[in-house]
Structure 1
């Protein structure tokens, strides 16, 4: 199997990013000269994204090795960032450059609990990996304003043998099962509302609901600073109020029941899965590929994204997982599976700390 290699300089990548950013600029007149730049810009972006495949796989192997030492129940997956997520980030963060985006390649470990999250984090930091740990962000101790919690580690790939990939950034995420259930529920609702709730954009009621649920889950996971403890009943009560007002259980149940999932016949030794979710049609299609078919998978990934670019809410992602079961566990939002989140919500509504 041959992995894609960077074919363009970082300056060329940055320029391509600036062209794509203009797609969101209301002042852009979209004249013929601009339209002529788009094909090359997408070509550069596609190669730049695919080039993160090799360092991403290397970091994922290390993450899996350490995660399994901490817990046999760890779920580890990897993904290349979706085309439209990349472009949305360029539009949302005005100072962002495509050549410096740190999460184009990302791998994630979902651990049984917060203690296992920190144990894995500590093992990675103390490990003998040559890759440079560039940033360590603890969103458990300091959650995002949205309520997002988890550990993020940014590594710069370093190798004497594969120097062409040196200094490409890979993001490692570590979450507990409850933190993961929360994050994927946010994405599921955001998908159907066609709002970027994960970026704190959209319905104020849903944003508040997920923020207070995150606070309640921090009590359940026993990671709340002591001064906040007296507020526990206030927070649980607010979750109950918003849950009733938004009819959360029924909404999430309807999403899941309506989904029609189709898995195309694929190889027994599949390692990569292309997921295509069409929310308005309530369909999910899964195409599988072997390690040797990675180039074909990446080409199909890009082609499918572009083909569905005008369909509201359409989502396409290429991920690597050990099995379909692991895939569903790591990406329940694509399967519209919010069972674990509903279980946690029930515990909150019943004032039961599990």
Structure 2
């Protein structure tokens, strides 16, 4: 079978840390789950404050604490989804990657757009990179199955672009 360039898709969870499943047991992944410590209003205020240039103050330090908690509150679900995706991708010779958006990137996005911190949908993300488009379709189909229950928010065909 002839291989085509890498096909890939993003599976964004509402809430992940880029950790390979092999290095992290299910019990350890549950420990990664970070409880949300701040209200929606506090998250909104922190985002507004940190969208502009700031001077060090206790208010700014608290805003950074709120933002860090908000980011990592979303981490565990991505780890969970990436583990499912990684299992499927490996069966076809593919691999996955994932990330938590950097604070500097969040601040830049807040400064240049009307989206608020509590509305950001790309705080975390993972992707599967697969050898062929057929492999991509197979993994995507199995990821959507009832057994895995995965939800893909955006699929990008980088080959067709």
Question: Shared fold by TM > 0.5?
Answer: yes
Match of 1:110 among 121, 129, 140: 129
Q: What are the ranges of 5 or more consecutive residues in structure 1 without an aligned counterpart?
A: 24-29, 141-148, 150-217, 225-354
Cα distance in 1, alignment partners of residues 144 and 35 from structure 2: 28
RMSD, aligned α-carbons: 2.5
Query: Over residues 189-240 of structure 1, what are the superposed CA-to-partner deviations in whole Å (9 max), with x where a residue is unaligned?
Result: xxxxxxxxxxxxxxxxxxxxxxxxxxxxx4xxxx47xxxxxxxxxxxxxxxx
2:49 aligns with 19
The corresponding residue for 1:6 is 36
Please say if residues 142 and 148 of structure 2, whose CA atoms lie closer than 8 Å, have aligned partners that are also in contact: no
Query: Is the 2:71–2:123 contact (alpha carbons within 8 Å) kept by the matching residues of 1?
Result: yes
1:79 matched to 2:94? The reply is no
1:1-354 equivalent positions in 2, closer than 5 A: 1=28, 2-3=31-32, 4-23=34-53, 35-69=57-91, 71=92, 73-94=93-114, 96-130=115-149, 133=151, 136-140=153-157, 149=158, 218=159, 223=160
Cα deviation for residue 22 of structure 1 reads: 2.3
Q: Distance in 1 between matches of 2:141 and 2:109?
A: 29
- Rounded to whole Å, the distance in 2 between the matches of 1:14 and 1:57 is 25
What SS class does the counterpart of residue 54 from structure 1 fall into?
helix
Q: Distance in 2 between matches of 1:125 and 1:92?
A: 34
1:8 Cα shift? 0.9
User: 1:40 Cα deviation (Å)?
Assistant: 0.8
| Structure 1 residue 114: Cα displacement | 2.7
Deviations 1:269-324 (A, max 9, x none): xxxxxxxxxxxxxxxxxxxxxxxxxxxxxxxxxxxxxxxxxxxxxxxxxxxxxxxx
Aligned residues: 131
Q: Distance in 1 between matches of 2:38 and 2:96?
A: 31
Tell me the SS of whatever aligns to 2:45.
Answer: helix
Unaligned runs of 5+ in 2: 1-27
Contact residue 74 and residue 124 of structure 2 kept, 8 A: yes
Give the Cα–Cα distance (whole angstroms) in 2 for the partners of residues 112 and 56 of structure 1: 23
CA distance in 2, matches of 1:12, 1:115: 46
Question: Helix, strand or coil: the match of 2:121?
Answer: coil
What displacement does 1:103 show? 1.8
Q: How many angstroms apart in 2 are the aligned matches of 1:76 and 1:138?
A: 14
CA distance in 1, matches of 2:135, 2:98: 19
Task: Compare CA radii of gyration and give the structure with the larger one.
Answer: 1
1:139 CA displacement: 3.0
